[in-house]
Amino acid sequence: MTALRLSGYRKRHHVHEQMRATIQSNIRAAQDYVQTLCTPIYAVDAKGAFEGCGSGIMLDVGPRTFLVTAAHVLDLHSTTSLFLPGRPLVELTGVSHRTFTQHLRRDDKVDLGIVELSSATVAQVTNGTPVSADLIDLSDIPSWLSVYGFVGFPASRNKRRPGGMLQPSSVAIATTAVDTDRYSEVGASIGIHFVGEFAQNEAIDWEKGRVTAPQPTGMSGGGVWRLGRLPELERGVPRPALIGIGIEWHNSKRMLVAVRSSFLVASLLACYPDAGSYLPHMPYVNVSQK
């Protein structure tokens, strides 16, 4: 699913229709791939039925695997058990690390949560391939030339179906970055966040055409990926890069917000200092006086 408009790129670079079709096909292939790198998170509602409440990625960091999601998803653990997909569902257990806030969680502009998973838990999860730490990109610079994907499991598509079955249904919303001077509209900062455009009623389904996209409620905690830069997507399907974790949707502003991967890495290092040798480091430039 996408809300991209390639017209500006086509005009600047004289992209003909065949190349436009190639770019769109490669974006779709990239979307399909990153959807395999996400897992739904389920809670139990008041009637005792399972329903999707969030999304996450399983991140391999050396010998450890972590479930990375939004802190507000893990907050639900105070009132209900949380589960990952499996046969049967796999109860989420272990110690969680969440960003601390003295106020309401909705005021937390980082909103990041981490749980270390046991190897037995990982083996039982049936939806979501673990993500290698070398896919993390700490130095992405938002650009209109880059295509990004917010990936997750909308709650409206992940409810128990007739017969008691759960069928995970994910979405990858392809988007471009908003202008950085708009970040302040949603309380975001370029150093902490990535913000992408999303107009729910102007989405494009590759098979159905223009559609109303599902509400992103339930997609919180899913990975945000750079699917590729447009010149790369002319040539093929680039290796995706994890640039953030989705945390907010602002319908009236038509924006999706993610916390950057640099905060994910910093959080992992704070909680698990010995993981440093398995995590990417910020690029550096040697600055010397003349």
9 membership: H or E segment, kind and range: helix 7-13
Residue 206's pLDDT band (cuts 50, 70, 90): low
- Report how far residue 177's alpha carbon sits from residue 197's, in angstroms, rounded to the nearest whole number: 6
- Report how far residue 66's alpha carbon sits from residue 82's, in angstroms, rounded to the nearest whole number: 15
Report yes or no on 254 lying in a domain. yes
pTM of the complete model beyond 0.85: yes
211 CB-contact burial (10 Å; exposed 0-12 / middle 13-18 / buried 19+): middle
Give yes or no: residues 17 and 149 share one domain.
Answer: yes
Mean pLDDT, residues 201-229:
86
- Domain total of the chain: 2
Report yes or no on 225 lying in a domain. yes
Does residue 242 have a pLDDT over 60? yes
Does residue 289 have a pLDDT over 60? no
**Tokens coding 71:** 């802190």
Is the distance from CB of 99 to CB of 192 less than 8 angstroms? no
**Tokens coding 76:** 């639900």
Is the distance from CB of 130 to CB of 84 less than 8 angstroms? no
Most confident of 88-102, 130-144, 207-221: 130-144
Report yes or no on 288 lying in a domain. no
Residue 203's pLDDT band (cuts 50, 70, 90): confident
25: domain range? 7-35+133-261
CATH number of 180's domain: 2.40.10.10
**pLDDT digits 0-9 by tens, 76-107:** 998 999 999 998 899 999 899 999 887 888 88
Give yes or no: residues 192 and 138 share one domain.
Answer: yes
**pLDDT digits 0-9 by tens, 168-181:** 889 999 999 999 99
Strands 50-61 and 131-132: parallel
Give yes or no: residues 234 and 138 share one domain.
Answer: yes
- 162 CB contacts (<8 Å, ≥6 apart)? none
- Report how far residue 22's alpha carbon sits from residue 28's, in angstroms, rounded to the nearest whole number: 10
